[in-house]
Amino acid sequence: MLAYVIRRCFVGVIMLIVMSLVTFVLFFASPVDPARYACGKNCSPELREQTRKSLGYDKPVVVQWTNFLKGVVQGRDYPDDPELRAAAPELVTHCPAPCFGYSVVNTKTVNELMKEAFPVSLSISIAALVLWLFFGVLFGVIAAVRRGTLIDRGIVAVSLVLYAFPAFFIGLFLLKFIAIKWQWVEVPVYSPIAEAGVGAWMTSLLLPAVTLAVLYMAGYVRMTRAFVLESMSEDYVRTARAKGLKSGRVLFKHSMRAALTPLVTLVGLDFAGLMGGAIITETVFNYNGLGKLAFDANTTNDLPTIIGLVLLLGTFVIVANIIVDVLYAVIDPRVRVG
Amino acid sequence: MSSYLSVRDLKVHFPTVDGIVKATDGLSFDLEKGRTLGIVGESGSGKSVSSSAILGLHRKTSAQVSGEILLDGTDLLKLSDEQMRRRRGKDVAMIFQDPLSAMHPYYTVGNQIGEAYRVHHNVSKKAARARAIEMLDRVGIPQPDRRVDDYPHQFSGGMRQRAMIAMGLINNPSLLIADEPTTALDVTVQAQILDLLQDLQKEFESAVIIITHDLGVIAEVADEVLVMYAGRAVEVGTCKEILTHPEMPYTWGLLSSVPDVSGDTNARLIPIPGNPPSLLTPPSGCAFHPRCPHRDKVEGDLCVTTLPELAPGTRTETHLKRCHLTNPDAVYEREVLPEIAPDLVEEER
Amino acid sequence: MFTYRKRVLAATAAIALAGGLAACGGSDSSSDGKAGGGPTSSATGGTLNYLIFAPIEHVDPQRIYVGRDITNFSRTVYRQLVTFPISTDPKVSNTPVADLATDTGTSSDGGKVWSFTVKDGVKWEDGQPITCEDFKYGASRVFATDVITGGPNYLLSYLDIPTDSKTGLPAYDGPYKGDGQDLFDKAITCDGNTITYNFNKPWPDFPLAIAALHMMDPYRQDKDNGDKSNFQIFSNGPYKLDGAWSKNKGATLVRNDNYDPKTDDPENIRRALPDSIVFNIGQTTETIYDQLIADTGDAQTAVTSQRVPAPYFNQIEGAVADRATLEASPYVDYLVPNFRKMSDPKVREALKVATNAQAWIDAGGGEKAFAPAESIVNPAVVGYQDNPAFSGPQEGDPAAAKKLLEEAGVQMPYPLTFTYPSTETADKQAAALKETWDAAGFDTTLDGLGDTYYDVIQKPTKDSDVIWGGWGSDWPSAITVTPPLFDSRPNLTENSDGQDYGAYKSDAFNKLVDQAANATSLEDQTAALQQADIQLGQDVAYIPLEIAQFYFLHGSKVTNFTTTPASSSFPDLGAIGVES
């Protein structure tokens, strides 16, 4: 198992290196000129050339990419201008290894930016995960157990309707009515757990987490329902009933254990995706997480931040995959031995 | 005084959007303790559905069960869900076919066997485990104290079936239903399992129902035999009666399609032509008539219009058949036997 | 789902652009009355909330280049030599008044030399006096073009410093590396409190330029961390930063104890009514307007630079409408024909005649979103006049246009590719234009682009026939409008059309630009620029579409709500207060 994990990690690192190269190539293949953006209005060709140089975009893509990789290993100085370093060292920002770059737009290292945004996304994602997993599985199981009844049909219908709503609609709706119009809660402002305490932290996450949870929950209700129904017709569930087990024990020990196994994969990947993918929700609620950072980086052609995020989110997905595989082995003894 | 198990007019109907599926339609039989009833029939004839009904495994939302199932004088169909649950696995136990899918892949064999014990006995996990090891030993699993912690996929097919039997018998049930207990096994293991079942039956004095499509199994273990077709009993009798003097063409068909009832090497395999009938819209009259090669020996269109009664045939009061044929023995000896066991016919001559 | 998200993102990005594309300008001249609504009061105290969606890119004075931000910071933290006063009358608001300088400056040598004297008693937030050297240092930062990027760079071409033939940039490269410092020290000199700027050509509108932009602001050398100072505010105005500026969240401004209103002209420049001003960045336009319409909590004391989104128009009614203001923006949206492809003046004329600007306006939300334009120059600019080529209603006359096309003898239908930045609204507007164009004999292909827009239209090889553009003046003079957009000499290079997207090239026009650039008086300059605009009209170098309207809502406890030409028609923080 350990050897397997190590092998997977190794493959993951290679994948990340390739991803960084692809991102570099894609960025420079686009007709968008980051130097034009940074240089601003009334920018002469000479100025633009100089801006490109100071951003480091004048070098060939492969050189920029290897410099980037070197920075990850050794750290880097920004701007990487020996003349400036000699004349005014206090203007140069040192970005220690592993350095994922320096965002000119934010005048911060990408590491700092991600470090600031990470807890926000992590908080939202965890809160959303708890909500959607709990309610998604709960309603899914209820629907499966009461299949064919009005309750089942109601749950399925509601989840279908919710599934059809886009994230920004749910987010704006919650914000507009719950927070602004009816004032049941305050307009949420992200409160770090260290500064505001657990209570305020959780309150601040309520609306964004509900927004995401509603979206994901809809899918999980339907999947849980299907998986539980499927497992309820399994032979071993019939065996369990034939033993005289109480229906609750049949459901929770025998039926759900098998039904929820495929959910583990989905949960792992959805959670990893959410870490950087809650773009709409984070934008609507003005939560400066990784998703909003990605959105802003994209609108401002902020290559270093884009690269850093691609790698960070790629790492999440790779790690989530490995964790899911390991979890699978823990859950399913057949995988463990075979 | 009725028998230990007495099933009367058992009906199991499944309402569907297309109509009612009558999986079991008026089944009656009796079984004494220490005796073994073999129920035979093709898939879909209602064998498993009927036995599931005895265990009360049908969900009320999907099946309508009626009739009487008297176990030691108590009508199981009149019990509450909870009362039935308490008896399930304790008084009435079931051994399922294909133990790989019938055992939970995520739990150890010992856990699953012990669970069957713990649900009816207020004992610790440790005690249940000890009991599970004891049972595994009893069913002939080598090194049971080690194998108890194995998962089902780590057992061979025969061992899994033994483990299933251990699970079924752990509470000394007075009625054991074995649903195709040997189907997936090779012939030598099959024989071992059947021997084991018989030994255990003697030991526990249980009543046993063996459900199978294999008359070979019946010949080996059954005292009485019930042949089912389209949800109904079509022939009932002792093992000997059914195997030596079958009176119903469907039973003949079953015999023809079994290779070695008598060890006859010249026997020909003749499958029953056609397909099992739809239970949603069963054929009129005798359900077997569309596939019956002997319909022309019955006057008029009786087979098509009238459902024959399950009535004593030509030999004994206990040998019942559901057929309009008036001279089944003659037809069997003249037309069927030479086909399926020419040597036997030679010998008799 | 995915395409839907993308569309939403594109729309939000477009809104962000609208707030930040062009720099300072004036307001609609037609607004003689009080621009605003709500109570009037000069009571001080309270907290004013300023709601902004997109992050402010720079708060470093030498790098700020967005009209809204220029004035917001002028009124609060960054005083200037001269500045524009609070007035809704463009004549007043477009005339610089003394701020940190004792007067509005004196020029000599035909406008090539300008001198200002720094007032006594003006201080930085740490109590130290603002000196002539601080001004000089501030100006020097503009030359560090590899560090201080994105800001206005006029000084590079005006200040009397030779050009480095290798880079094509001035031989002075700013205070950090220090090459050519002696050249700079000669170009800007300090004599006591008097600072003198020496230019290589006349700059008659220099006071307008430095009132409208922060490029000449003083900067304290010991506070300078180059690029790291991008989000740093070292104040000399009535407010100072409380804590740090956060790019994604904004910051709170509180009173600056070292600011002495006696050195200022509070009534005309900085009334500084609220005790604190919160810049709240990041809420979406929808959230901002949900709160403003509900008028609850902090929204009661809030103003915003986000325009009311069209879907919210019908919610601005009844009592809510009393808190709404509609003011022309200092921007003009226009079309340019690509002269490389539409070289026949008759065809361009036909395009102009067929263009239904009114349909474009209607499709974009009507009069609350856009007003008609009769020149590429905004009416708030000094010396504005309607361009005769575009006077009167522009509703498109396909029949007349068809005749022109026939006269031109071109094959019809004439293929026409219209390139524009695509949003949901812009797509509708483009379709509205296509209607009359096609009726006139053009065969229009709509070419809506995403993020790549400006990069594509600057390429000389583009296959567009008509291109959308939007512009606002940097200071209220047409010299920051037509020359940067149509002078072929700085714009057209081998690889780029610069801002002359249509590759317009006219010796007659360029001559008028030179005349304006070398004019020694504002009057001469204005006359030349008026002539230049007429020339552009005759050549159909552009077709004006509309002037975006600023439709704003503010909270009920906001007092003196004012938008001025000085504040680019955004809420003017110099005037606005809150009820406590």
Rounded CA separation C33/C55 (Å): 32
Q: Do B104 and A331 touch (CB under 8 A)?
A: no
Q: How far is C466 from chain A (nearest CA, A)?
A: 20
| Residue B118 with chain A: CB contacts under 8 Å | none
Bridge partners (DSSP) listed for residue B13? B22, B64
Instruction: Report chain A's terminal Cα–Cα distance, integer Å.
Output: 11
Burial class (CB in 10 A: 0-12, 13-18, 19+), C545: buried
**pLDDT given at position A29:** 86
Identify the three-state secondary structure at position A136.
Answer: helix
Distances in whole angstroms, Cα of residue B23 to Cα of each of B14, B44, B145, C360: 7, 8, 42, 72
B342: preceding bond cis by omega (within 30 degrees): no
Distances in whole angstroms, Cα of residue A127 to Cα of each of A141, A212, B137, B263, C245: 21, 9, 51, 70, 29
pLDDT band of residue B345 (cuts 50, 70, 90) is: low
* Residue-wise pLDDT tens digits, C26-47: 333 333 334 444 566 778 999 9
- The torsion angles phi and psi of A307, rounded to 5 degrees, stand at -60, -50
Which of these, B55, B52, B48, lies nearest to B79 by C-alpha position?
A: B55
In which element (H, E) is residue C141 found?
A: helix C132-141
Shortest CB distance from A31 goes to which of C150, C151, C456?
C456
Model-wide pTM > 0.80: yes
Bridge partners (DSSP) listed for residue C468? C335
Rounded CA separation A269/A264 (Å): 9
- Predicted confidence pLDDT, tens digits, chain A (338 residues): 788 889 989 999 999 999 999 999 988 888 888 888 888 888 888 888 888 888 888 889 999 999 999 999 999 988 888 888 888 888 888 999 899 999 988 989 999 999 999 999 999 999 999 999 999 999 999 999 888 889 999 999 998 888 888 888 888 888 888 888 888 888 888 888 888 888 888 888 999 999 999 989 988 999 999 999 999 888 999 999 999 999 888 988 898 888 888 888 889 989 998 888 888 899 999 999 999 999 999 888 899 999 999 999 999 999 999 998 888 888 888 876 54
Rounded CA separation B261/B268 (Å): 11
**In terms of CA atoms, which chain A residue is nearest residue C481?**
A42
Rounded CA separation A41/C499 (Å): 9
Rounded CA separation C564/C89 (Å): 8
Shortest CB distance from C176 goes to which of A39, A88, A175?
A88
Match 């790690």 to its residue by tokens.
A319
Rounded CA separation B277/C200 (Å): 105
* Residue-wise pLDDT tens digits, C321-337: 999 999 999 999 999 99
Is C344 a residue whose pLDDT tops 70? yes
CB B117 within 8 A of CB B171: yes
A79: preceding bond cis by omega (within 30 degrees): yes
Tell me the average pLDDT of chain B: 88
Which tokens go with A276? Answer: 């950087």
Rounded CA separation C338/C467 (Å): 7
CB B136 within 8 A of CB B54: no
Shortest CB distance from A32 goes to which of C156, C228, C451?
C451
**In terms of CA atoms, which chain A residue is nearest residue C142?**
A47
* Residue-wise pLDDT tens digits, C386-436: 999 998 888 999 999 999 999 999 998 999 999 999 999 999 999 999 999
The residues, ordered by sequence, that sit 6+ positions from C236 with a Cβ below 8 Å of its Cβ are C77, C78, C79, C100, C122, C123, C124, C125, C130, C218, C256, C259
Which of these, B150, B36, B47, B24, lies nearest to B97 by C-alpha position?
A: B47
Cβ pairs bridging A and C (under 8 Å): 151
In which element (H, E) is residue B199 found?
A: helix B187-204
- The torsion angles phi and psi of B329, rounded to 5 degrees, stand at -60, -45
Which tokens go with B212? Answer: 């199978």
CB C167 within 8 A of CB C65: no
Shortest CB distance from A148 goes to which of B61, B88, B116?
B61
Rounded CA separation C247/C282 (Å): 9
Rounded CA separation C490/C484 (Å): 8
Which of these, A300, A101, A102, A97, lies nearest to C227 by C-alpha position?
A: A102
Kindly list the strands in the beta sheet with B232-238, ordered across the sheet, starting from the edge strand earlier in the chain: B92-95, B175-179, B207-212, B36-40, B224-229, B232-238, B320-321, B311-312
Which residues 277-336 of A are in CB contact (within 8 Å) with C?
279-280, 283-284, 286, 288, 292, 295-296, 298-301
Q: Do A279 and C225 touch (CB under 8 A)?
A: no
CA B131, B134, B137: angle at the middle one, nearest 5? Answer: 150
Q: Do A244 and B153 touch (CB under 8 A)?
A: no
CB A214 within 8 A of CB A162: yes
| Residue A284 with chain C: CB contacts under 8 Å | 284, 286-287
Which of these, C505, C430, C503, C421, lies nearest to C461 by C-alpha position?
A: C503
| Residue A331 with chain B: CB contacts under 8 Å | 106
* Residue-wise pLDDT tens digits, C152-208: 999 999 999 999 988 889 999 999 998 999 999 999 999 999 999 999 999 999 999
What interface predicted TM-score (ipTM) does this complex get? Answer: 0.86
* Residue-wise pLDDT tens digits, A228-266: 999 988 899 999 999 999 988 898 889 888 888 888 888
**In terms of CA atoms, which chain A residue is nearest residue B84?**
A244
- The torsion angles phi and psi of C366, rounded to 5 degrees, stand at 80, -155
**pLDDT given at position B347:** 58
Output DSSP code: residue A222: H
Which of these, C580, C577, C579, C578, lies nearest to C270 by C-alpha position?
A: C577
* Residue-wise pLDDT tens digits, A168-185: 888 888 888 888 888 888
**pLDDT given at position C16:** 35
Mutate to test the interface with A, among C1, C64, C290, C487 (most CBs of A within 10 A): C290
Shortest CB distance from C13 goes to which of A46, A90, A299?
A299
Rounded CA separation C103/C87 (Å): 19
Rounded CA separation C284/A175 (Å): 11
CB C189 within 8 A of CB C195: yes
Burial class (CB in 10 A: 0-12, 13-18, 19+), B100: middle
Match 């997977």 to its residue by tokens.
A8
Rounded CA separation C219/C235 (Å): 10
Residue A187 in contact with partner chain C when CB distance is under 8 A: yes
C111 phi-psi bin (left φ>0, alpha ψ -120 to 50, beta other): left
Match 């504002």 to its residue by tokens.
C522
- The torsion angles phi and psi of C177, rounded to 5 degrees, stand at -85, -35
Q: How many CA atoms lie within 13 A of C226 on its CB side?
A: 23
| Residue B101 with chain A: CB contacts under 8 Å | 234-236
